Amino acid sequence: MPATNPFLDPRRVQAALRGLELRPTRGMGQNFLIDPHALATIVAAADLQADDVVIEVGPGLGVLTWELTQRSRYVVAVELDKRLAARLHQQFRTTHAEPPALALPGPPVPPPVLHLLQADILDVSPLTLLQQAQAAWQAHALPLPAGAAPPPYKLVANLPYAITAPVLQHFLHSPHPPRTLTVLVQWEVAERITAAAGALSVRALAIQLYAAPQIVARVPASSFIPAPAVDSAVLHLTTHTTPVIADIAPEALLGIIKAGFVQPRKKLANSLTSGLAGIGLGRSQAQVVAALHAAGVDPSRRPETLTLAEWAQVYRMLRGDGRGAG
């Protein structure tokens, strides 16, 4: 690492929490990383370059933010908690418009400029966030990222457990998704996201439709203050540059997949028939069985065993266009 991260000291973390009168809550997912090895693993997996634009969700006390600003001049951090956002503003030189409101224990740290926004990330589109950041950089006479506007970007974050799936969906389903996502998530969630045929879920398929996920490392619960009840994982996702299924709108395909998982432990013929009826696309079981056979899928299989390509072929056969798998 380029320098010693001042935010890793557990005593400093505890002092900061006391100074802010902040009691971390499970609902907010406020578990603060204090493990230098885990932090180094996240940063290495993100593979940041000096001109990369980086979005961080939930910077908290700034431990990851500090590392990001050491590696890239274009960092955008979005924090929901007003107390933490005020603290971050005082710790970092930012383009945030609000003046600092809280005193901070410990010596001041002057890392590079970042754009800080106090908001719920699920209420701000990635496109809007990038446009706001570019406008702020320009207003402060800072150099803008070269190339397209808005620029390509990477997402790097220690995600609160409770909003992992919504945040990933928010970015991956965006018209302007990140090139890569390097996130710290609950271990069991990472396992489900990276599952292969035989253990697939709607969540896994919904993410794998947009990106290729990979578990980089396991992070023990002891790496955080306070320690969560479970271990975490560094998860790296590379978004697909071309659609995995080119001829079907992702939302339409996901609708059929969700219908197929209505009764995930039942045979596909039964589960899909029930699920289609529930979304107003009723087919008789005989029609569903015929479509499955036409798609080359055994009707007695369970939904978790089908790959994206197989679901796409099932969709085509249900639609009745008779084309081969693509």
Last residue of a domain, one of 193, 210, 239: 239
Number of domains in the chain: 2
What pLDDT is recorded for position 110? 41
The CB density around residue 107, as the number of other CB atoms within 10 Å, is 7
The confidence score (pLDDT) of residue 26 equals 53
Tell me the per-residue pLDDT of 289-306, one tens digit each, with 9 for 90 and over. Answer: 999 999 999 999 999 999
Question: Is residue 5 situated within a structural domain?
Answer: no
In a domain, 214, yes or no: yes
Percentage of the residues of the chain whose pLDDT score is greater than 90: 65
CA distances from 315 to 4, 44, 210, 256, 258 (A): 53, 39, 18, 7, 12
Q: Which of 27-41, 197-211, 227-241, 264-278 has the lowest mean pLDDT?
A: 27-41
**Exposed e or buried b per residue across 237-248, where buried means at least 16 C-beta atoms within 10 angstroms of its C-beta:** beeeeeebbeeb
**Residue 172 lies inside a defined structural domain of this protein:** yes
Q: What is the mean pLDDT of the chain?
A: 88
State residue 16's pLDDT score: 81
Q: pLDDT value at position 155?
A: 98
Query: CA 272 to CA 154: how far, in whole Å?
Result: 37
Query: The tokens of 271 are what?
Result: 């589960």
- Confidence (pLDDT) at 103: 41
Prior bond to 112 cis, omega within 30? no
Give the CATH number for residue 314: 1.10.8.100
239 Cβ contact partners less than 8 Å away, ≥ 6 residues apart: 172, 177, 178, 179, 180, 181, 210, 211
Top mean pLDDT of 93-102, 147-156, 317-326 is at 147-156
Check whether 275 has a pLDDT greater than 80.
yes
Question: Residue 84 corresponds to which tokens in the numbers above?
Answer: 């933490």
Q: Clarify whether residues 147 and 77 are in a common domain.
A: yes
Taking alpha carbons only, the member of 309, 206, 193 closest to residue 261 is 206
Q: Is pLDDT of 104 > 60?
A: no
Assess whether 256 and 226 both reside in one domain. no
Whether residue 260 contacts residue 279, with contact meaning beta carbons closer than 8 Å, is answered with no
Region at 296 (left for phi over 0; alpha for psi -120 to 50; beta for the rest)? left
Q: 256 to each of 176, 253, 281, 310, 323, how far by Cα in Å?
A: 25, 5, 9, 12, 17
Same domain, residue pair 112 and 141: yes
Please name which of 68, 76, 66, 77 lies closest in space to residue 49, comparing C-alpha atoms. Answer: 68
Does residue 126 surpass a pLDDT of 70? yes
Q: How far is CA 295 from CA 90, 250, 270, 324, in A?
A: 59, 19, 16, 8
307 & 204 share domain: no
**Residues 133-154: what's their mean pLDDT?**
83
Domain check: are 198 and 270 in the same one? no
273: in domain? yes
Please, which pLDDT band fits residue 98 given cuts at 50, 70 and 90? very low
- Tell whether the model's pLDDT for residue 325 goes beyond 60: no
Grouping H, G, I as helix, E, B as strand and the rest as coil, residue 117 is: strand
Predicted confidence (pLDDT) per residue in 174-225, tens digit: 999 999 999 999 999 999 999 999 999 999 999 999 999 999 999 999 999 8
Residue 323, pLDDT above cutoff 50? no
Quick one: average pLDDT of 273-282? 90
Residue 300 lies in a domain: yes
Instruction: Please state the rounded mean pLDDT for residues 120-144.
Output: 89
Are residues 161 and 25 part of one domain?
A: yes
Which residue among 179, 212, 239 closes a domain? 239
Rounded CA Rg of the chain = 22
Q: Decide if 277 contacts 259 (C-beta within 8 A).
A: no
Q: Tell me: do 304 and 184 sit in the same domain.
A: no
> Which whole-number Å values give the CA distances from 67 to 14, 37, 57, 264, in the listed order?
20, 13, 14, 42
31: pLDDT confidence band, cut at 50, 70 and 90?
A: confident
Residues 17, 136 within the same domain? yes
Which residues fall within 8 angstroms of residue 126, CB to CB, at 6 or more apart? 55, 153, 170, 171, 174, 176, 177, 178
The domain containing residue 283 runs over which residues? 250-319
Is the confidence at residue 140, as pLDDT, over 90?
A: no
Residues 169 and 290 in one domain: no
Give the model's confidence band at 1: pLDDT under 50 very low, under 70 low, under 90 confident, else very high. Answer: very low
- My answer on whether 204 and 288 are in the same domain is no
Q: Is 204 contained in some domain?
A: yes
Q: Is residue 175 part of a domain?
A: yes
- 128 has a pLDDT exceeding 90: yes
22 in a structural domain: yes
CATH number for the domain including 19? Answer: 3.40.50.150
**Pair (118, 213) in one structural domain:** yes
C-alpha 121/C-alpha 159 separation (Å) is: 11
User: What confidence tens digit (pLDDT) does each residue in 59-92 have?
Assistant: 998 999 999 999 998 999 999 989 899 888 888 8
Residue 172's Cβ-count burial label (10 Å; 0-12, 13-18, 19+) is buried
Q: Are residues 274 and 200 in the same domain?
A: no
Last residue of a domain, one of 190, 206, 239: 239
> What is the model's pTM?
0.88
